[in-house]
Amino acid sequence: MRDDDCVSTSPASRGRIGRPPVTTRAQILAAARRIIDRDGWEKLTVRRLAAELGIGGTTLYHHVRDREDLLIQLLNEHAKRTLSVELPAEPRDRIVAAAVAIHDSLAAWPWAAEVLTSDGFLGRLGEPAVSMVEAIVAGAVECGCTVEQGVDIFRNIWYYTAGEILVRAHSGQRRADRPRVAVGDTFFRGVDLSRLPRLAAIGDRWPTLAARDIYAQGLRAFVNGLLDQARSAAR
């Protein structure tokens, strides 16, 4: 994907025809960052961004296809700054490290859960993220998988990762007025323990792992299971 593919109608800057643009994509992203840094990320709306740029709200839609499109551009910019890891040499560890890196970068991104639901999300990811995807598939191949199996493994890892990001994003305290149960764990918040005897039996002995480590540990179990399954399917 080229850099300006997300923009709906913008041609290349060279050899333009028609009215010259007052607004460039770099300016838009810079203005968005300014709003986020100054007023907080919840304040980033289409109208406010247009106002920050000094243009009409409608005009923005000639540089950005969507609100979603804008967010994905911001995400790619964010990934460029945060998504860089030394990947281990051992393939199984490398798979885990790459997936955790993707996860951590997304987890630190305010709109992750929102943007995760966008159409063709994987295809719109920018450079560092795509290399991580490739690293996962390649790692699976080095573990003895076929490429098809490697792709399948990535797909499953991606489901798991997306789900964790999704649940994590919304296990925060968005609405303060909902009934919740004090179990020391936000995941099961609001669950009526009287109908879940097994859950109730835990009492306060909830896992002390941080959410990120729960993810990483589950991921490792998943990778092991997937590689085992691929190996036994090969026979």
Residue numbers 49-78 binding DNA by CB under 7 A: 55-59, 61-63, 66-68
Q: Any contact of residue 158 with DNA (CB under 7 A)?
A: no
16 versus 80: smaller Cβ distance to DNA: 16
Of the pair 30, 191, the CB lying nearest a second copy is at 191
Give the 3-state secondary structure of 25-43. HHHHHHHHHHHHHHHCHHH
Query: Based on CB atoms, which residue is closest to DNA, 52 or 164?
Result: 52
Spell out a b/e string for 36-54, using b for 16 or more CB atoms within 10 Å of the CB, else e: eeeeeeeebeeeebbebbe
| Cα–chain center distance at 71 | 11
Residue 63 binding target from a second copy, DNA, none, CB below 5 to 8 Å by type = DNA
The residues, ordered by sequence, that sit 6+ positions from 1 with a Cβ below 8 Å of its Cβ are 123, 124, 126
Contacts with DNA, 3-42, as mask; x by CB under 7 A? ------xxx---xxxxxxxxx-------------------
Torsion angle (degrees, nearest 10) of CA 111, 116, 118, 124 = 100
What is the DSSP-derived secondary structure letter of residue 69? H
Q: Token pair of 149, please?
A: 């199996």
Nearer to a second copy, 19 or 174 (CB): 174
How many residues of this chain interact with DNA, rule: CB under 7 A? Answer: 27
Distance CA 219, CA 96 (A): 7
Per CB under 7 A, which of residues 184..203 are in contact with DNA? none
Q: Out of DNA, a second copy, none, which partner does residue 226 contact, by CB within 5 to 8 A per kind?
A: a second copy
Residues that bind DNA (CB under 7 A): 9-11, 15-23, 45-48, 55-59, 61-63, 66-68
